[in-house]
């Protein structure tokens, strides 16, 4: 069967799509078994734990991953990155023989083959869509993923705290060694806006809401030093150390969860006046703070941090001035364990990525972030962490107030 290639370009899982032929965006109907899994459930947020894991090749690069079940009759447990900077689900297929697929759990057999318009591949059809995705991952490098599209059932959680989506999935038949071999997870679940998807058949968030009464079109993420959480259908108010501050998504037609930045300051120094326009792009797949190349040298020179016994890393605050408020990272937030700035220059093409700051793990440890795809807004609040201790509380903790924010998630 001839294969039609749908070319895509991605920056750290950011996708820009071009079509070889017009595709009708017809979502595949949710099947009865998936509908039954969601039936009777209300709009209460579903909260799922994330585990912090290191890259296979560089322990300084970390990812926060969660578990999903793939398939219906014999579901396969898989570990995935919930990626705010891409729009598709990508899972290795059983036929993938590339080195990067070795050691990863594979998508089970039995899924229905579909095209990008969501329509089933039937006998006698002369065309099947395939995709090539070019990855430029912030921490691990550049590479490609090739695959075809299948209709798959993806489930999160168990019992009342569960939800399922029947959705178009990219079944990867080939993954380049860079960057995929170093990724410590089996696949990716893209949570970007519509522009990052080939079609609505591949809209995980939209399909997740099917059959759930009063489902709020939001998801939220908070990270800690040891793990984190992601919620769907709303957010977890116990994670907020302050009020949510809301801003509209900047350039939603690009498909990214990003906001306008008016200036970037380190202490009293303006390192980027953003005269040409700056944006903060929230990327759960980035462990470092990505900065535009023209501003990188000045920013890194201004971030002078030193270790202080009993205190940790000390240095000036890094401030992103937004519309009406600022987002501030302390030295302990943006520094590595060696008290070096966890910052990396981002040589991205301009346009469309001029002035983009990539806000990843460094940012999400400090700020609990809510993503509202119904209103295309983002909400930010200081995050409250929870200490984890086995056994009786330490004597010095008895009668003490709640621990300071940002320590770790239980």
Mean pLDDT of 287-305: 93
Mean pLDDT of 102-131: 88
Task: Return the pLDDT at 141.
Answer: 82
Overall average pLDDT of the 177-186 stretch = 91
Phi, psi dihedrals of residue 386, rounded to the nearest 5° = -130, 130
Cα separation, 305 vs 284, whole angstroms: 25
With a cut of 60, say whether residue 31 has pLDDT above it. Answer: no
Q: What local confidence, expressed as pLDDT, does residue 210 receive?
A: 85
- For 324, the token pair is 């009406």
Q: Kindly state whether residues 98 and 163 are assigned to the same domain.
A: yes
Query: Which of 185, 217, 249 lies at the terminal end of a domain, its last residue?
Result: 217
Higher pLDDT, 16 or 362: 362
Reported as a single tens digit per residue, the pLDDT across 183-225 is: 999 999 999 999 998 888 999 999 999 878 889 999 999 999 8
Distance, in Å, from the CA atom of 255 to the CA atom of 250, rounded to the nearest integer, reads 9
In the chain, the number of structural domains is: 2
Amino acid 98: pLDDT: 93
Shared domain check, 68 and 148: yes
Whether residues 313 and 377 share a domain: the answer is yes
State which residues form the domain around 137. 3-217
State the pLDDT at residue 27.
Answer: 38
280 versus 3: the higher-pLDDT residue is: 280
Same structural domain, 179 and 263: no
100: left (phi over 0), alpha (psi -120 to 50) or beta: alpha
CATH of the domain at 203: 2.40.70.10
pLDDT of 388 above 60: no
Residue 19 has pLDDT above 50, yes or no: no
| Strand 278-282 to 356-359 pairing | parallel
Give the residue from 250, 251, 343 showing the smallest Cα distance to 298: 343
In-domain check, residue 393: no
| pLDDT, position 126 | 77
Please calculate the CA angle 277-279-285 and round it to the nearest 5 degrees: 155
Q: Is residue 229 in a domain?
A: no
**What is the pLDDT, as a whole number, of residue 385?**
66
Residue 321 counted as domain residue: yes
For range 246-254, the mean pLDDT = 97
Q: How far is CA 178 from the centre of its chain?
A: 19
Is 142 within 8 Å of 6 (Cβ atoms)?
no
Residues 118 and 241 occupy one common structural domain = no
pLDDT of residue 321: 98
> Does the pLDDT at position 82 exceed 90?
yes
Please write down the long-range contacts of 144-147, taking CB distance under 8 Å and 24 or more positions apart: 144/174, 144/175, 144/176, 145/90, 145/170, 145/172, 145/174, 145/175, 145/176, 145/180, 146/172, 146/173, 146/174, 146/175, 147/90, 147/93, 147/171, 147/172, 147/173, 147/174
- Flag whether 15 is in a domain: yes
Query: 406 pLDDT exceeds 80?
Result: no
pLDDT of residue 58: 63
Most confident of 129-138, 308-317, 374-383: 374-383
Segment 79-84 shows an average pLDDT of 96
The DSSP code sequence of 214-282 is: T--SEEEEEE-SSEEEEEESS--GGGBSS--EEEEPSSGGG---EEEE-EEEETTEEEE--TT-EEEEE
- At 17, phi and psi to the nearest 5? -105, 140
Mean pLDDT, residues 300-312:
91
What is the distance between the alpha carbons of residues 270 and 280, in angstroms, rounded to a whole number? 16
Last residue of a domain, one of 159, 185, 217: 217
Write out the DSSP string of 22-87: -----PPPPPHHHHHHHTTB-SPPEEEEEEEEE-SS-TTSEEEEEEEEE-SSSPEEEEEEEETT--
The answer, yes or no, to whether residue 107 has pLDDT greater than 80, is yes
| Size of the chain, expressed as the number of residues it contains | 410
Q: Are residues 192 and 302 in the same domain?
A: no
pLDDT tier, 56 (very low <50, low <70, confident <90, very high otherwise) = confident
pLDDT at position 38 is: 54
Report DSSP state, residue 383.
Answer: B
Is residue 129 located within the same domain as residue 20? Answer: yes
349 with 262, same domain: the answer is yes
Average pLDDT over residues 90-105: 93
Question: DSSP label at 391?
Answer: S
**What's the alpha-carbon Rg for the chain, to the nearest Å?**
21
* 49 lies in some domain: yes
Q: What band does 74 get if pLDDT is binned at 50, 70 and 90?
A: confident
Residue 69 inside a domain? The answer is yes
| pLDDT (0 to 100) of residue 172 | 95
């Amino acid at each position: 069967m001839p294969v039609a290639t749908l070319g895509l370009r991605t920056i750290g899982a950011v996708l820009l799509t071009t079509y070889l032929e017009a595709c009708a965006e017809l979502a595949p109907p949710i099947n009865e078994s998936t509908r039954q899994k969601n039936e009777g459930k209300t709009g209460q947020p579903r909260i799922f734990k994330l585990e912090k894991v290191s890259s296979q090749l560089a322990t300084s690069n970390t990812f926060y991953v969660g578990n999903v079940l793939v398939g219906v009759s014999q579901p396969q447990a898989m570990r995935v990155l919930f990626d705010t900077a891409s729009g598709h689900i990508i899972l290795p297929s059983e036929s993938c023989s590339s080195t990067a697929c070795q050691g990863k759990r594979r998508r089970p057999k039995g899924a229905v083959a579909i095209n990008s318009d969501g329509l089933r591949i039937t006998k006698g059809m002369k065309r099947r869509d395939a995709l090539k995705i070019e990855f430029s991952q912030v921490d691990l490098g550049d590479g490609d993923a090739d695959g075809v599209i299948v209709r798959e059932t993806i489930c999160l959680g168990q019992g009342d705290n569960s939800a399922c989506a029947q959705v178009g999935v990219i079944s990867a038949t080939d993954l380049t060694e860079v960057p995929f071999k170093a990724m410590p997870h089996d696949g990716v679940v893209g949570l970007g806006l519509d522009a990052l998807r080939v079609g609505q058949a591949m809209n995980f968030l939209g399909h997740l809401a099917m059959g759930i009464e009063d489902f709020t079109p939001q998801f939220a993420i908070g990270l800690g030093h040891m793990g984190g959480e992601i919620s769907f259908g709303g957010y977890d108010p116990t994670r907020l150390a302050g009020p949510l501050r809301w801003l509209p998504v900047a350039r939603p037609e690009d498909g990214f969860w990003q906001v306008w930045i008016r200036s970037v300051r380190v202490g009293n120094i303006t390192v980027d006046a953003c005269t040409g326009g700056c944006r903060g792009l929230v990327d759960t797949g980035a462990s470092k703070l990505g900065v535009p190349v023209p501003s990188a040298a000045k920013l890194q020179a201004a971030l002078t941090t030193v270790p202080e016994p009993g205190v940790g890393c000390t240095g000036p605050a890094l401030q992103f001035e937004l519309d009406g408020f600022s987002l501030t990272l302390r030295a302990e937030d943006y520094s590595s364990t060696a008290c070096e700035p966890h910052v990396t220059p981002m040589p991205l093409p301009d346009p469309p990525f001029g002035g983009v700051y990539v806000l990843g793990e460094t940012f999400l440890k400090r700020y609990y972030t809510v993503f509202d795809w119904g209103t295309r807004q983002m909400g930010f609040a200081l995050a409250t962490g929870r200490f984890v201790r086995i056994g009786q509380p330490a004597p010095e903790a008895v009668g003490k107030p709640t621990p300071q924010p940002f320590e770790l998630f239980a």
